[in-house]
Structures are given as C-alpha cells and as structure tokens.
A and B are shown apart, each in its own frame.
Chain A
Amino acid sequence: MSDVVEKTLTALPSLLSLDSQPGSAKLSSTAKLGNLIRGITELTSKHEEEKLIQHELASIKEQVSSPNTTMRQMRELMVRAVYCEMLGYEASFSYIHAIKLAQQGNVLEKRVGYLAVSLFLNESHELLLLLVNTVLKDLQSTNLIEVCMALTVVCQIFPKDMIPVILPIVEEKLNHPKEIIRRKAVLALHKFYLIAPNQVQHIHNKFRKALCDKDPGVMTASLHIYLQLIQENAEAYKDLTASFVTILKQVVGGKLPMDFNYHSVPAPWLQIQLLRILSLLGKNDQRTSEVMYEVLDESLRRAEMNHNITYAILYECVKCVYTIHPKSELLEKAAKCIGNFVLSPKINLKYLGLKALTYVVQQDPKLALQHQMTIIECLDHSDVIIKRETLELLFRITNAQNVTVIVEKMLDFLRLSKDDHMTIDIVGKVAELAEKYPFKHYSTMNAVFSLGGDMMQPEIPNGFLKLLSEGFDSEEEDRKLRLFAVSSYISLLQGEPSKLPQRFLQVICWVLGEYSFLKEDLEPSVVLGLLTKLLDMKSSSSETKSWVLVAMTKLCWSEAAVSEAQQVAETYSSSFDTTLRQRAQELQHLSRDSQLHSRVLPPGGRLEPDEVVDSSLSFLDGFVSEALSAGAAPYKPLHQRQEELSRSKVLSLEPYGLSLPISTSSCSITDRQSPTLLSTSSGLSGDGTDFSHRGSSTTLRLDGVKRVWGREGYLAQKKPVEEVAQVEVPSPLRSPSQQGDANSCRSKTPTPTANPECDQEKQQLASSLFGGLSSQSSVCLISGAAKMVNIQRFRRKAKGQRSSSTTNEQRANPTVSSASAVDNLLCNNLLEADTEPINSSAKQTFQHPHSLSVANGACDAEAILTDGDPKERNQPLSSEDFVEADDSPPREDQERSKDSCLTPHLPAELSGFSHSEIIPLCSSQSLDLSACHVQTDNSVVLVVFITNTSEDANLQIQVFCVCESPVEEVRGRSVSVRQYSLTVKMPLVHFELVGMLSYSIPAGMPQAMMQFSYKLPLTSFIRPLTVSTEEYGSMWLAFSHDTKQNLTLIKEEREPLTATLNALNKKLSLHVVEIIGVEGLVACSLLQDQPCLMHCRVHAGRLAVWLRSPVPDLPDCLLYHCQRALQEP
C-alpha cells in the first residue's frame, strides 16, 4: 500500500508538468473555459467584454481549423464556442466543426458535438443535412448510448424532409429490448407527428402497442401522442376510454414502482396527462363520461396532501369534472376544491383558483357569488397578474346590470397597465362589452381609444364606426348620439390633438366628415380648420393624413370650405405618398365641381340603400374588351403578378416547352375578373393591403366594407361566450334553497376585523358587481345574456332583411371568421353539412360572378364579395377555376323518374367516354339537380342535369358556376343539361365545386336560389403522359418540386414492382415508361400539360417513390392518391 503511495508521490511533479497528456486535458479544458468565464466576470464594461470574446473567438477559430487539433481538444473548443454563442456572439465558423465532432468523435465527444449542433443550428439550416448520415449511423449502432444520443438529437433538431430516411429505423426501435430506447423512439415519433403528421400516419397501430408496453415509462411517453391525436379527433379514440381509466386507477392506487413517485405522489405527470385525455374524451358525451366518474372521484379524494403537486392534480381534476358530462356529486366536490384554491393564502393557488373560477363560471355563476369578497380583494391585489385574471373572470360574468362597474374597473386597469399584450387584450374585451351592452357605448369607446392607443386591433375602431353608421333601433337616438359625438370630438380637437393616438384621430376624422352637418351651428370651414391643424401636426402618420383628406372631401360643399380645401389639396397633390396624392386629387376635383360633389357625396345624407354599386364594374366591360382586341395584355390579379415577379427573380428550372400556355379561355376569365379587382384597387388607391383606408374611400361606400373586418371577425370571438351563457345549468345547482344560501352567505361575508368603512365600500362594490347574479340568481344571468344575444341577432337580422338571403345566412352565422368573405359565403353551408372530413382540407371554391349579387339586388352581398377579394388572392386554397360556358344547345327530353335514367341525357359527344356516377346534388319541390363528371382525353367535363319535376310550370333558370349561363326556360317535366369543362389551376387532393342556381317559377316571378357543391378527386384530371426514357431523363432534371415517400408493394410472388406499377396504371392511369430491374419510371400529366414524374425503387420490401413536377403541391397530392390506390385491395 505504502509502495503505491510512494510511487504516486514521486511521479506527481513530472506528471503535472505534462500538459499534453490525455489525463491532464481535463484540467486544461476546464481551466480554459474557467479562465474565460473568470475573465468575463472581472470586466467592467460591455466594450471590454466584446473585445475579450472576439479575441477568444479568433483563437478558437484558429485552433479548430488547424489539422493538428485532436477530437478531445475539439470537444473543449466546442464548449467554449457554445459559451460565446450563449453570450450573444456569433461563432458560425464552428458549426461545421460541431457536425464533424458529432460524426467522428468517440461517445463523449459525440455527445458534445450533438449538443453543440442542437444549440447552434436552426431547423432550416443547410448544414443540418450533413447531420443526417451521422444520425443514421448512430441509430444503427450497437452502442446503446449512441442510439440514445441520436434519438435525442432527432427529437431536438432534424430537417423535416429527411424524416422519411430515418423513419423506418426509428420505428424499428419501438421493438427494442431496452425500455429507454423504446421511450425515446416514441417521443421521437411524437415529434415527427407534430412537424409532419402525414409521414407517420401508417404507424398508428404501433402507437397502440406502445400504449400497452409493459414498461410504464414507454406507456407514459405514448400518451403524449394520444393527447395530440385525441385533441384532433376525439371520436376515433372513444374505445380507449376504458383503458385510460384503468391506467389512471392503477396509478392513483399506487400500483406503479416507487421510481415514479414524486414527493410521494404516484406519477403526477402521468396522472395529469390521463386526466387531460379523459376530459377530451368525455366532453359532450354522457356515456363515455359515466365510465370515468368513479376514478375522478377517487382522484379528488386521494389528492389531499398539502403540496404543490397534489394541487396540480386537483386543478386538472376540477377542470376535467367541469368539462365532461356533469354529475352533481362530482361538481359539488370540485366546487369545494375551487373554494380552497381561491381562499388559499398562497398566491399561486389563488391564481389557479381564479383561473378555475373563470373556467367554470359560465356553467355555475353561483360559485363566483360565493367568493365575491375574495374576488373583490383580488381586484385590488398588488400583483398585476392576479388583477388581470380577476378582470378576466369578471368579464365572463358580465351582465346588463354590472357591466358599467366592470368596464370602469377594466379602464382603471388600462390606465395603470404598462404591458402591451395585456393592454391589447383588455382593450379588446372592453370594446366587446361596449358593443354587446351599447348603452354606455359611446363614452366607453372614447376611453378605449385614448387609452388603447395605437396598439389595439384595427377591428375595434372599424366596428365602432360601423355601429355608429348603422345606428341602433331608433332614428332619433342615433341622431343624438352622432351629434354628441361630433360636438365632443370638436372640443377634443380644439384641445390638444397631438396627444391623441393615431387611431383615435382617424375615428374622429371619419365622424366629423360624415356627421358634422348634423350640428347646424357649425360651419364646415371651422371643421376644416381643425382638420388642417391635424395635417400640419408632425406626429400625424400618413395614414391619418389620408383620413383627414377624405373627411375634408366630404366637407367641402360650402364656399369658404372650398377655398381652404383647394389650398390643402394643392399642397398634398405633390406628396410622395401615393395614397395621399390620390386623396388630394380627389379632394381637388370634387371641390371644384360642386355638381359632381353633390352627386357623389350628397350633402347631409348617405347614399340611399337601394342605390346599387356595380362593383363588378360591368360598365367597363366594353372598354376592356376593346382594349383586349386592340392587343392589350389581359389583367392579372395581384398575386399572379407577384408570383411572376418572384419567379423571374430566381433561376427558372422549368423547361420552356412544357410551360402552361395561356389559353384563350383563361383570358376570358381574367377579363371577367378584372373589373372587380380594378374597382377594389382604385377604391384603395393602389394600396390593396390597407383596409382602414377603405372606410373613408369615396367611391366605395363604407357599409359593406367594414362588415367583414369589423363585425364578423369580432363575433367569432364573442360566440363562445354567448354560447356558454345559454348552456343550461344543471338543475340541482339552481335549487332555490341554495340560492338562499348564496344570498345569506353574501350578507355574512364581511369579516369583522376589517376596517368598517373600507368594508362598506367593498360591500357596495360587491353588490354592484354581483347584483345581476345575486338578485335573480343564475337564471337571471342566463336570460339576461340570452336577451342580449337576441337583441343583437335581431338587430342584425333587421338589417339583413334588406339584403339578399345569402347575406342573411352569412350574418346569422357569427362564427364565420373574417378570413375570406367569399369563401365563407360559399362554403358555410358546405362545411356544416359535410360530416366527412375533407382530406388535407383541400377545397376549391368556385367563385360565382359578382353579377350574381347584382341580379339579386343585394348591394350588401356584393360589397362583401369585393371586399373579400384581396384577401382571397393571398389564399392558396381557393383558386378559381375556369369553366367554359356550354355551347351545345340544351337538350330537353321527357323526364324519367330515376336518376340513373339521366344517363341518356348525356350529350352525344361525351357518350363515348366513361362518366362517374350521377349524383343528386340538391332539390327543391320543383327542381332536382344532379351532376356527374366525364373524363375525356384532354379535359374533364362537368355535366349538370336540371330536372323540372313540377307538372306544369315552366321554370326560368340560371346557373352560376363561375360564369353565368344564359337565362333559359325549362318546361315542366323536362331535363336541361349543362356542360362545363374544368381545368385545374392548382392541384389539391380533392376539388370541391360550388355553384349556385337561381330560378323562378313561373318565369318572371321572384327568383329562388339553390346552392350546390360537387366533389371530385384529383385523379379525374390525371392523364397518362407518354414519353421516352430520354425525354423522361431530361424532364426529371428540370423539375423543382419533389417529394419522397415509401409505399407498400403489392404482394405478389414474382414481380411485385410490375404488379404495383400496373395497379397504379389501372387505377390512376399513370403511364409506365420503363422498368429497369428494381427501378421503375412512371409519368403522367395533370390537365392541361402539367407533367408529373415518378421514380420508383424497390427497397427493403417497400416501394420508395420520388415524385417530381414543375407544379408545387402536385407531387404531394398525387402521392396521396397513390397511397390510397395501393392500400385498397
């Protein structure tokens, strides 16, 4: 023993001097990093730090690029580089070395390499591709630690398009004997599911296996995936409810190994995950909910220890109990739990209590009543977060009686708030309340505008202006309100307008422009003077200035005003801002020509509602066609222009020969379309994105414009509140005895120790806040809310009746988002009626012409249509297709009763081709509409059969399916056939055609409308493409959009590849170019002339396909159909 010691001691000095020895590397490495860190902490200024780090980075750079650096040193260098990056200095030179370290190092170095890679690189970084091979190698390694590291890095950072490469290996790992590997593999698949859900669709049954894994850790990991899946589609997993309940029972019962305990609570993370899954499964489903009552009860009972983690479980339990189908006993227990939370002195629990109250209060407002004193205390809490949460709660219990107090409290909060997000949120809430309970509307909104500043959502001022212009129920009130608004705004402007936020100024401008005539003693020139002051203000944005100019335009009808206006117009007609310049021009022209002015902007009034705005600008049609025939280029919508522009910037990878020829037919559609877009853009002064301008546009009136952006978008948020308010409260909670309790409890609440004066104040506040709740109990709240909703609805309806039926539908459906009005208008019903999930959410909307609405005399609908347009242009999903009008004369034959008997009605020229089943689309008492599609060699023709089932009456019908067909008469008991040829502009998995039929019985009577939709798959548009292998080769290189995937091979003994390709040929009509060994070349084209090539290779019992096309999305869509075709027997 002493021998050893002696040896060591003598060796010591010599050892310490050997710096390059491996053993001492540890010392030096820590020392170097340590030196760096210490050096930094000693520095006093930021500048010095920068200098030091730059120096450090330079030395790291030098060392990493030196060939003599060993992997071990590299590891240490990487750690230092990571540290420098953490301090915010870029060390991009080391990225490639990090990858190299992960590739070549031993296990430990690899670990650092992977860590550095995951810290350095971004998911889209190009160097990441270099990592794929390393990960692949490590995944297949026999060393467990290497496999673990590879799975970890895959979870952290992995290029999305490379997932198919490693997917099979990760899948294999699900069967690994080590549970840690299985668990990591499950988590990696979860990650894949999140970033590329369609890639892992085929392994859903393997998830089930993971759920049944004997190791609880693997099972827990699989729950992450299940939570995600159930969130998306709860129906599909109802059968697993019993299993989840059993698992939870076992966990709660302490059946898991001690390892899973956390502060002696069994597997809390697992418990909470299960509770969340159960609440999703049991939502609105009594039968499923019944299965879980028992275990929920047990969970509530067991979790009684005084520790954060048990409270976490309790909180989740409570949420679950209130989400699933209610059971009174459980609700009672949950309510008690919430009470404990709210009353807890711990601030975190109080916060959660408020959250829980907010969550349940719509079902059980009585609960808020019980805790009213606590709530009021929280309202004055020193912590902003608690305050905000309380306001959120109050917002949910607002009714007609307490709204004033609540809004006041919110405004108080706004005055003190410094946080932008909170301000935006609360401003939105106040505005919502103000709109819902309009009696204090005007003054509240003024406060909102001045407090909310420029951060608030643009819908709020839009909604306010709209409400003001539409008015409430009585004319007189409206007039008073507007008058009041005008005079108060005038006085605001006379004060210090430079302090007001821009948005408020814009509102003021609009109101003054529109309504200042109401105030008779007010000279327009005075208003103009005030407005000019705004223009001269430095702080005014150019947007505000254009609002000012528009307001001036409206005002310049008196002599004095005109001269002033012209002066202003003079100044701004040479502005650099195009919008401003246009406004100035408008002002100039209109102020000169008083006749024109009074025609465009009638003094003291608004456009009569029956005055129809021809938004399609059909009066320009002649001009346009003349220009076209004279050789002018057809109008291209904005998105198309941008696309072309961006395309011209990058290298063109597409071959010239095959690029899509612009057919004359598509010319005609653009030319149909152009007037609309023209009108929008002119109304917008070329600035298509800025909708707020629109409110003041002189050519397009406001009515329709704001409707989409202001109100409807707003309603989408409001809907849940209203809906829940109407939910029936479970009967036991409404029993009168409990109400009595609640009331008496309220009177007892004041604590005797508190200062009596302050207490009284609080009492008062309480009675004003909870007045609506306590006096008539919950019933009152509900009926109150319902009443409000009714009023709102009624108001909306009353307006809507003027417009067409379509508009009515649109408005009665407040869930509609404001995304695209056109879409909504057409797809609303479809979406509701369509229970079958539309695959890949692909939907193609056929936009019917704007003249449709004109034909209806619905100016509202048309305004929405125009408005939706610019938005829609940005939406890739809704592309308009072109349908050629039919030239063939409609054939009329005697009707036979069965639908299948419609076949003979198929036009003769189509009878040679195969047609799909004739599907009835819609019918009314006198009319049946059926359709099928026919695939010819170079087109797809949609054939619509319109059958008049009534005995005698003659029908006058008109079908809109992008283009309108001539009005025609269909005699009684006869069939009219229409043909539309379809072309695809953008590939989608399924297309949905939407059209509208308007008809009148008998001819000349008011028209009735029918909407119909027709679905057809992409495959209808796919035709074989006959090319030689050489051509194939050159085309392959030219295409830029591609996708790869593994497909199942058809099981056949001898030649599985040939069999599979033949199947594809038969089902999807793909042309097999050549089969070489294990590889196959397949080609097809999408009508017209949009080729897609497919390269297939048999690999490991599967078919690896690689699709390429010049058309984006086409490979993906086609792949979907290939997958489907091969899965079907």
Chain B
Amino acid sequence: MMRFLLLFSRQGKLRLQKWFTPITEREKKKIIRDMTTLVLARQPRSCNFLQWKDLKIIYKRYASLYFCLAVENQENELLALEVIHRYVELLDKYFGNVCELDIIFNFEKAYFILDEFLMGGEIQETSKQMVNRSIEASDMLQEVRCTGTNAHPDLNHTRSIVISHVVFICLFAGVGILKRLGFWCFTKQ
C-alpha cells in the first residue's frame, strides 16, 4: 500500500501532497521537510530508492519537479516507480505536454487526476484512456452547467463561447511563450 505522494520543485517548494493514511499535521510537516532534504541531497545517477524509517521512498525527477512516493516495505520498488511514471503520463495526456507551471496553476486538476488513478493508497485504474474519460466526463458537466444556467441563452451562449476562446488563446499563448523560453519543460522519457 502506498502511504503518501509528494511533488516538490528543485527548490523544495511543495507542489502537491497526497496522504493515504491519517497523519497529524505536525507529522506531515516533518515528513515533507525530511523528504525534501533527503531527496534533494541525492546525487544524479544514483538509484531511485531510499529507506526512510520503515518505509521505502521511491523518487524520480521530471524536469524541475520531483515525484516522491512512499510505500510500505513489502512493496515492489520498480512498480512504484512505474506508478509515478504512469501518473506523469496521465498528466501529460490531460494537459498536453505538461510542465511544472501546469501543475502549479491547475493543481486541483492534478489532484482530480490522481484521485481517479489511485484510491485509498492502491492503484485504481491504470488505463490512460479510462482515467481521462472519467476526468473529462466531470469536466464536460461543467461546460453544460455553465451554459445551461444562464438567464439569456442566446446572447450568453455566444458570449461564453467567445470568452472561453479568448481565454484559451491567452492561455495557450502564455504557456507557449514560456515553453519556448525553455524553462520548466519536461524532458519526456
């Protein structure tokens, strides 16, 4: 069983945290501190596994982001590594060429994807298609609700379409520029 998953940047800034067993706030803080110092101190090209107390820590760096997964002792390390990789693939599929900025600005989406992928510390769904389908299903609902609740369907419908286009154009442009500048991009495996 998995115990927790942490995402943090090279500077040690926490980007996402998921705890699969009840842990007090104080302990969480301590674990986060321990993990960042432990993992960030590792040399490149050393192995991806660590022992911490009675847990196995499996970490992997994607571009500037560290994924750090703690599993119980009898678990398979390589498999845990693949859990991380599959999560990155899922993020990639959803965001399209995902980068750290995507996760910072849309961290709630990253949580939703994680919730579809893992549940209660166990793997729930390993298929990329399935996870995406269920995320999209709830995202779609949002669109329907957005347009459906407006008072003047005609006008507002066009409005919302236009606005969302504008938003998307802005977003794409913004992300695209950043990507061209070359930082925060993931190097794909």
Partners in one complex: yes
The reply to whether A268 and B82 contact each other, CB–CB distance below 8 Å, is yes
The reply to whether B162 and A12 contact each other, CB–CB distance below 8 Å, is yes
Segment at the B interface, from A82-90, A555-563, A919-927 = A82-90
Give the interface centre of B43, B86, B119, B155 by most chain A CB atoms within 10 Å: B119
Contacts of B23 in A (CB 8 A): 122
Instruction: Kindly identify which residue among B16, B77, B119, B158 contacts A184, using a CB–CB cutoff of 8 Å.
Output: B119
Contacts of B142 in A (CB 8 A): 107-108
A41 to chain B, nearest CB (A): 9
Interface assignment of B111: CB less than 8 Å from any CB of chain A: yes
The reply to whether A23 and B43 contact each other, CB–CB distance below 8 Å, is no
Segment at the A interface, from B48-56, B63-71, B91-99 = B48-56
Q: A7-B158, A24-B163, A112-B108 known; A421 and B51 CB under 8 Å?
A: yes
Instruction: Kindly identify which residue among B120, B126, B160 contacts A22, using a CB–CB cutoff of 8 Å.
Output: B160
CA distance A115 to B141 in the complex (A): 17
Segment at the B interface, from A30-38, A739-747, A893-901, A990-998 = A30-38
Contacts of A347 in B (CB 8 A): 45-47
The reply to whether A23 and B160 contact each other, CB–CB distance below 8 Å, is yes
CA distance A107 to B141 in the complex (A): 8
B151 to chain A, nearest CB (A): 10
Q: A260-B127, A385-B46, A421-B51 known; A115 and B78 CB under 8 Å?
A: no
CA distance A347 to B123 in the complex (A): 26
Contacts of A18 in B (CB 8 A): 159
Interface assignment of A383: CB less than 8 Å from any CB of chain B: yes
Instruction: Kindly identify which residue among A23, A421, A422 contacts B146, using a CB–CB cutoff of 8 Å.
Output: A23
Residues from 131 to 183 in A contacting B, C-beta threshold 8 Å: 145, 148, 152, 155-157, 180, 183
The reply to whether A184 and B124 contact each other, CB–CB distance below 8 Å, is yes
Instruction: Kindly identify which residue among B77, B127, B167 contacts A259, using a CB–CB cutoff of 8 Å.
Output: B127
B55 to chain A, nearest CB (A): 10
B131 to chain A, nearest CB (A): 11
Question: What is the chain B residue whose CB lies nearest that of A231?
Answer: B74
The reply to whether A15 and B163 contact each other, CB–CB distance below 8 Å, is yes
Q: A268-B79, A311-B78, A351-B49 known; A262 and B163 CB under 8 Å?
A: no
CA distance A217 to B129 in the complex (A): 14
CB-CB contacts of A347-358 with B at 8 A, as 1s and 0s? 110111001000
A206 to chain B, nearest CB (A): 18
A448 to chain B, nearest CB (A): 20
* Residue tally, chain B, CB below 8 Å to A: 66
CB-CB contacts of B130-164 with A at 8 A, as 1s and 0s? 10001001100110011001100001101111111
Instruction: Kindly identify which residue among A16, A155, A224, A262 contacts B126, using a CB–CB cutoff of 8 Å.
Output: A262
A449 to chain B, nearest CB (A): 23
Contacts of A87 in B (CB 8 A): 14
The reply to whether A348 and B48 contact each other, CB–CB distance below 8 Å, is yes
Interface assignment of B182: CB less than 8 Å from any CB of chain A: no
The reply to whether A308 and B123 contact each other, CB–CB distance below 8 Å, is no
Residues from 81 to 112 in B contacting A, C-beta threshold 8 Å: 81-82, 85-86, 104-105, 107-108, 111-112
Q: A111-B112, A217-B125, A309-B82 known; A155 and B119 CB under 8 Å?
A: yes
Instruction: Kindly identify which residue among A11, A82, A111, A221 contacts B158, using a CB–CB cutoff of 8 Å.
Output: A11
Question: What is the chain B residue whose CB lies nearest that of A18?
Answer: B159
Q: A37-B104, A124-B22, A348-B48 known; A421 and B160 CB under 8 Å?
A: no
B50 to chain A, nearest CB (A): 6
Interface assignment of A873: CB less than 8 Å from any CB of chain B: no
CB-CB contacts of A7-50 with B at 8 A, as 1s and 0s? 11001100110100111101100100110010000000000000
Segment at the B interface, from A187-195, A480-488, A978-986, A1046-1054 = A187-195
Question: What is the chain A residue whose CB lies nearest that of B23?
Answer: A122
A201 to chain B, nearest CB (A): 19
Interface assignment of B24: CB less than 8 Å from any CB of chain A: yes
A99 to chain B, nearest CB (A): 17
Question: What is the chain B residue whose CB lies nearest that of A225?
Answer: B122
Q: A312-B76, A315-B76, A421-B52 known; A15 and B14 CB under 8 Å?
A: no
B100 to chain A, nearest CB (A): 11
Contacts of B149 in A (CB 8 A): 22
Contacts of A442 in B (CB 8 A): none
Instruction: Kindly identify which residue among A21, A86, A156, A421 contacts B120, using a CB–CB cutoff of 8 Å.
Output: A156
Q: A107-B141, A221-B124 known; A386 and B105 CB under 8 Å?
A: no
CA distance A315 to B134 in the complex (A): 33
CB-CB contacts of A64-87 with B at 8 A, as 1s and 0s? 000000000000000100110011
Instruction: Kindly identify which residue among B77, B86, B127, B167 contacts A27, using a CB–CB cutoff of 8 Å.
Output: B167
Question: What is the chain A residue whose CB lies nearest that of B124?
Answer: A187
The reply to whether A315 and B122 contact each other, CB–CB distance below 8 Å, is no
CA distance A224 to B20 in the complex (A): 15
Contacts of B16 in A (CB 8 A): 86
CA distance A88 to B12 in the complex (A): 13
Contacts of B10 in A (CB 8 A): none
The reply to whether B17 and A108 contact each other, CB–CB distance below 8 Å, is no
Interface assignment of B166: CB less than 8 Å from any CB of chain A: yes
The reply to whether A26 and B50 contact each other, CB–CB distance below 8 Å, is no
Instruction: Kindly identify which residue among A79, A122, A267, A308 contacts B81, using a CB–CB cutoff of 8 Å.
Output: A308
Contacts of A293 in B (CB 8 A): none
Contacts of B129 in A (CB 8 A): 259
The reply to whether A351 and B141 contact each other, CB–CB distance below 8 Å, is no
CA distance A191 to B150 in the complex (A): 41
Residues from 155 to 185 in B contacting A, C-beta threshold 8 Å: 155-156, 158-164, 166-167, 171
Q: A124-B22, A312-B78, A348-B81 known; A108 and B124 CB under 8 Å?
A: no
Residues from 258 to 272 in A contacting B, C-beta threshold 8 Å: 259-260, 262, 267-269, 272
The reply to whether A272 and B159 contact each other, CB–CB distance below 8 Å, is no
Interface assignment of A123: CB less than 8 Å from any CB of chain B: yes
CA distance A800 to B76 in the complex (A): 44
CA distance A184 to B104 in the complex (A): 28
The reply to whether A269 and B123 contact each other, CB–CB distance below 8 Å, is yes
The reply to whether B115 and A152 contact each other, CB–CB distance below 8 Å, is yes
The reply to whether B82 and A111 contact each other, CB–CB distance below 8 Å, is no
Residues from 7 to 43 in B contacting A, C-beta threshold 8 Å: 14-17, 22-25, 29, 43
Interface assignment of A466: CB less than 8 Å from any CB of chain B: no
A136 to chain B, nearest CB (A): 19
CA distance A309 to B78 in the complex (A): 7
The reply to whether A88 and B29 contact each other, CB–CB distance below 8 Å, is yes
Interface assignment of A491: CB less than 8 Å from any CB of chain B: no
CA distance A275 to B43 in the complex (A): 34
CA distance A719 to B74 in the complex (A): 20
The reply to whether B14 and A86 contact each other, CB–CB distance below 8 Å, is yes
CA distance A407 to B81 in the complex (A): 33
Contacts of B125 in A (CB 8 A): 183, 217
The reply to whether A107 and B145 contact each other, CB–CB distance below 8 Å, is yes
The reply to whether A8 and B162 contact each other, CB–CB distance below 8 Å, is yes
CA distance A597 to B184 in the complex (A): 76
9 closest A-B pairs by beta carbon, nearest first, are A23-B160, A312-B78, A123-B22, A155-B120, A383-B46, A191-B120, A347-B47, A259-B127, A23-B163
Please name 15 pairs of A and B residues whose Cβ atoms are closer than 8 Å in the assembled complex, sorted by A.
A15-B163, A23-B160, A24-B163, A82-B107, A111-B112, A119-B17, A122-B23, A148-B134, A180-B134, A221-B124, A269-B123, A269-B126, A347-B46, A382-B46, A385-B50
Binding site for B on A (CB under 8 A): 7-8, 11-12, 15-16, 18, 21-24, 26-27, 30, 33-34, 37, 79, 82-83, 86-88, 106-108, 111-112, 115, 119, 122-124, 145, 148, 152, 155-157, 180, 183-184, 187-188, 190-191, 194, 217, 220-221, 224, 259-260, 262, 267-269, 272, 276, 308-309, 311-312, 315-316, 347-348, 350-352, 355, 382-383, 385-386, 388, 421-422
Beyond contacts A11-B162, A421-B51: 15 other A-B pairs, Cβ-Cβ < 8 A, are A7-B158, A15-B162, A16-B166, A18-B159, A23-B159, A26-B163, A86-B15, A122-B23, A145-B138, A260-B127, A262-B126, A311-B78, A348-B81, A386-B46, A422-B51
